[in-house]
Amino acid sequence: MRNFRLYLVSLLIILSCCSKPTRAPEEVRVRLAVDPETLSPVSYSDVGALQIVNLLFQSLLVADLADNQVKPCLAAAMPQVERQDSVTLFTYQIREEASWADGSPVTAADVAFTLKVLKAPLLNNEFLKPQVQFIQDIRVDVTAPKRFTLVCKGYAPEMELLTGDFFILPAHLFDPDALLLPIEVAALNESFSELENNGNLIAFADRFNSQEYGHSTQMLQGSGGYVLERWESGRYLTLKRKSNWWGNELPDAPYVAVHPERISFQVIPDNTTAILALRSRQLDVLGDIAATEFDRMRQDSAFKKDYALFAPDTYEFIYAGINSRHAKFADKRTRQAIVHLLDIENIIAASQQSYATPTVGPVPPTLTAYYNDQLRPYTYNVEKAKALLAAAGWEQEQDGWVQIINGSREQLTIEINYRAGNSSYENAALIFQQSAAELGIPVQLQAMENSLLSQKLKAHTYDMFFRSISGNPFVLNFRPLLHTSHAETGGMNVSGFGTEESDNILDAINKATTPEVKAKLLKRLQEILHEEAAFVSLFYLKDRLAVHKRFGNLKISGLKPNYDVSAFTLKE
């Protein structure tokens, strides 16, 4: 009866997907696993939201998924770079054609406004603020409103990408009363005590942090090729291609052009329902397909007449975090023992089939110049785990492993937290629970909603967790995740990992001026992470993707979302 009910619910959801306006010939229908909390270009919180924001707004530079190369987008060319003592200058020229949805030009004033939004206090910008901390000021060319120079602290090769890797906001739309105009970008680098009482900033923050700025079709109008046509919360979002959009007229930048007339994102949280929608031809694109289902599709000749299947290596990896702040996990030998109970091969077989690659650290194995191939992933070894626990001072008794810690008898128990609804995390947790039971370690599993999980991790009130991180091949900046300066309550370094050496290496990686120096530093960082076993990278994922064969120019890539839907062309 349960399966039949699920089928009925799934059928109702699929039918609701079809209750939208009649599909245009060039419409592409894509599954969204989660209804976005917001589409704010500053405070989006998930990969699906980022995909949509990328279609509405643009940055100075863009990654072309056809060749995974960084190229000019709003910028007319890559920036001119000039190093001066303790600062580096990056000079950009915005394309003359670039304009907003209302036809007004994109100018350097919009870039200055965006930097203020990203750097100012009181605003919902915590996620992106660290990425622009190195930008100290902007100098606008008074004789050329589309030309400007970013003044950046120090120098690192990644700065060329990072100076162009944030969405530019329309100042006239987001700040019609010019409340931020009197505030200088340079004033946002030091103490915020005076600014937090600034009347203009307070008034702007009240507006900007409101729901309107992340949901309204009137506000979410950028320089990208699409406008948000309709958003039915929990059901679908549709984007409509702008008529006579400026980006389609660039002979030197075909990668900027957009093609589908309409892109419809169907909100389908349940994976089984998403598969049913795909097989009933109600979806054109579906990613993150369960491995067993993907293998069935590969054997289904009728399905393959309509859909092409892809399994690109991604830059997303699954990792485990162990709370090194807890006294029972403070000894790295205890953490190493726990990792030896992570049967990674079995976890991959159970949840990913062959669609994953074990890793020794957060550097993708596909980046061979930076990956430390001298290390080997931890192997499942109960006897090794037992020896490590004994060496760390644990004694095995009838009811488990115990130790006197701070004068009290402590039993080694572990609660594992992970996001509910994710089969990869659930499988990993179940397999670990079974492995730990062989050694007499009680493990409790706790699935929870993602925002609650984030709160728990940032408050450091957990034992162990499973999560994933998506990266890219251009910037390997692990400082926010691993530096001790980010390990305070609320910081991104939730595992508490960090040594004096690792902090120095993380700082040096971002300043490395040659690939050789950077490679040496990254390989040493992977060694330390491997030994400390607090932030434990398990495996990199392959995506499992189906795209309807009526579309071409897919640009399949390892970069999320692993295809460029704006580039899709309709085959004749």
What is the reported pLDDT for 561?
92
Residues 354 and 467 in one domain: yes
Number of Cβ within 10 Å of residue 404's Cβ equals 10
Alpha carbon distance 505, 520 (integer Å):
10
Residues 17 and 99 in one domain: no
Answer whether 246's CB lies under 8 Å from 98's CB: yes
Domain that holds residue 193: 58-215
Q: Is the pLDDT of residue 1 over 80?
A: no
> Which of 76, 71, 77 is CA-nearest to residue 96?
76
> Which of 1, 449, 35, 33 is CA-nearest to residue 270?
33
62: left (phi over 0), alpha (psi -120 to 50) or beta: beta
Mean per-residue pLDDT, 139-166: 94
Kindly give, in sequence order, each residue whose CB lies less than 8 Å from that of residue 420, ignoring residues fewer than 6 positions away.
447, 448, 449
Alpha carbon distance 522, 247 (integer Å):
38
The answer, yes or no, to whether the previous bond of 561 is cis (omega within 30 of 0) is yes
- For the segment 62-71, what is each residue's pLDDT rounded down to a tens digit? 999 999 999 9
Answer whether 231's CB lies under 8 Å from 216's CB: no
Q: Is there a domain that residue 53 lies in?
A: no
Position 19 confidence tier, pLDDT thresholds 50, 70, 90: very low
Residues 128 and 235 in one domain: no
What is the reported pLDDT for 109?
98
What is the reported pLDDT for 22?
57
Residues 272 and 176 in one domain: no
What is the reported pLDDT for 511?
82
> Which of 74, 72, 71 is CA-nearest to residue 106?
74
Q: Is there a domain that residue 519 lies in?
A: yes
Number of Cβ within 10 Å of residue 556's Cβ equals 17
Long-range contacts of 41-46 (CB under 8 A, 24+ apart): 41/167, 41/169, 41/222, 42/117, 42/118, 42/123, 42/124, 42/125, 42/127, 42/128, 42/167, 42/169, 43/124, 43/125, 43/126, 43/127, 43/128, 43/214, 44/127, 44/214, 45/127
Q: Is there a domain that residue 50 lies in?
A: no
Alpha carbon distance 352, 329 (integer Å):
29
Look over the chain and give the mean of its residue pLDDT values, rounded to a whole number.
93
Position 16 confidence tier, pLDDT thresholds 50, 70, 90: very low
Alpha carbon distance 2, 10 (integer Å):
12
Residues 357 and 499 in one domain: yes
Position 194 confidence tier, pLDDT thresholds 50, 70, 90: confident
Residues 90 and 155 in one domain: yes
Q: How many residues does the chain have?
A: 572
Q: Is there a domain that residue 443 lies in?
A: yes
Q: Is there a domain that residue 48 lies in?
A: no
Q: Is there a domain that residue 47 lies in?
A: no
Residues 459 and 534 in one domain: yes
Residues 88 and 210 in one domain: yes
Mean per-residue pLDDT, 566-571: 96
Query: 1-5, 519-523, 550-554: which has the minimum mean pLDDT?
Result: 1-5
Position 2 confidence tier, pLDDT thresholds 50, 70, 90: very low
Write down the pTM of the prediction. 0.83
148 burial type by CB count under 10 A (0-12 exposed, 13-18 middle, 19+ buried): buried
Q: Is the pLDDT of residue 210 over 80?
A: yes
What is the reported pLDDT for 566?
98
Q: Is there a domain that residue 41 lies in?
A: no
Position 14 confidence tier, pLDDT thresholds 50, 70, 90: very low
CATH of the domain at 418: 3.10.105.10
Sheet of 135-140, strand order: 80-84, 87-93, 147-153, 135-140
| Between 480 and 28, residue with greater pLDDT | 28
CATH of the domain at 10: 3.40.190.10
Q: Is the pLDDT of residue 390 over 80?
A: yes
- For the segment 326-348, what is each residue's pLDDT rounded down to a tens digit? 999 999 999 999 999 999 999 99
What is the reported pLDDT for 510?
82
Residues 63 and 189 in one domain: yes
Residues 334 and 405 in one domain: yes
Residues 478 and 448 in one domain: yes
- For the segment 360-372, what is each residue's pLDDT rounded down to a tens digit? 999 999 999 999 9
What is the reported pLDDT for 47?
87
Mean per-residue pLDDT, 400-422: 95
Answer whether 84's CB lies under 8 Å from 155's CB: no
- For the segment 104-119, what is each residue's pLDDT rounded down to a tens digit? 999 999 999 999 999 9
Q: Hey, is 267 helix, strand or coil?
A: strand
CATH of the domain at 156: 3.90.76.10
Give bridge partners of residue 448 from the DSSP assignment.
Answer: 419
Alpha carbon distance 477, 487 (integer Å):
16
| Between 424 and 100, residue with greater pLDDT | 100
- Rounded to the nearest 10 degrees, the angle between the axes of helix 332-340 and helix 382-391 is 170
Query: 3-17, 68-82, 279-293, 510-524: which has the minimum mean pLDDT?
Result: 3-17
The domain boundary residue, chosen from 190, 215, 240: 215
Number of domains in the chain: 3
* Angle at the Cα of 363 from the Cα atoms of 328 and 508, rounded to 5 degrees: 85
Residues 138 and 9 in one domain: no
Q: Is there a domain that residue 564 lies in?
A: yes
What is the reported pLDDT for 18?
44
Structure tokens at 521: 């530093």
DSSP 9-76: HHHHHHHHHTTSSPPPTT-EEEEESS--S---TTT--SHHHHHHHHHH--BSEEEETTTTEEEESSBS
Alpha carbon distance 252, 509 (integer Å):
34
In this structure, what DSSP letter does residue 385 have? H
- For the segment 23-45, what is each residue's pLDDT rounded down to a tens digit? 666 899 999 999 999 999 999 98
In this structure, what DSSP letter does residue 168 have? P
What is the reported pLDDT for 149?
98
What is the reported pLDDT for 470?
87
Number of Cβ within 10 Å of residue 66's Cβ equals 16
